[in-house]
Amino acid sequence: MIELLVVFLLARKNGRTAGAKGLSPTKYQWGTAGLWFGLEIFGFVFGGILLGPRADVLELYPFGIVSAVSGAIIAYYWAKQAPVSPYAQYMSWGPTHVAPAAGMQGWATPDQTQTPTAMIPPGAELALVERQADWARVRAFNGWTGWVDGRELQPRYDSPVFTDSANT
């Protein structure tokens, strides 16, 4: 019963993470459950092959759990590392990050050798659109879109991307 609850909560979290990026939450929820249970079955089968036909369920259980947890880790990173949908900009705007206390510069392209095109004030709310190495393309409430040093962005923990991490 606890296992089902864990899978449910993880699937819900991954669905919200994907949804905040403009992706299909259902795909990531079912994918999470599929990876968990699929790898759990694989673990049982692998344990059976390794231990032989006389192995009982208690001997196979650790193989199943380790494989299931591996599936959970894969599902978590699958949702976390998924790229933001190109259609996310047409969804309702929701900030995911804020500018640092000193503010930050913004560029039209991810090239620090160019002249900055904007100065983003301290604490300005920004929505993460895309990442490229240390660069982050962000969108502000007023519609401005540009590139900033992604290492300087501060997560906004009450955004849908981060909300579940405190609750699960």
Residues 6+ apart with CB under 8 A from 120: 99, 103, 104, 105, 106, 126, 140, 148
Average pLDDT over every residue of 76-92: 76
Average pLDDT over every residue of 138-163: 79
Instruction: Give 112's Cβ-side CA count (13 Å radius).
Output: 8
Q: What are phi and psi of 18, to 5 degrees?
A: -65, -45
Looking at residue 2, its pLDDT comes to 84
Average pLDDT over every residue of 146-160: 83
Which architecture characterizes domain 88-167 according to CATH? Answer: Roll (2.30)
Question: Which position has the token pair 């909560």?
Answer: 9
Question: Which position has the token pair 């969804």?
Answer: 91
Task: In the chain, list all ranges with CATH 2.30.30.40.
Answer: 88-167
How high does pLDDT run on average in the chain?
Answer: 85
Distance, in Å, from the CA atom of 62 to the CA atom of 50, rounded to the nearest integer, reads 13
Provide the percentage of residues in the chain whose pLDDT is more than 90: 51
pLDDT digits (tens, 9 = 90+) for 85-142: 776 655 566 788 999 999 999 999 999 899 999 999 998 999 888 888 899 999 888 8
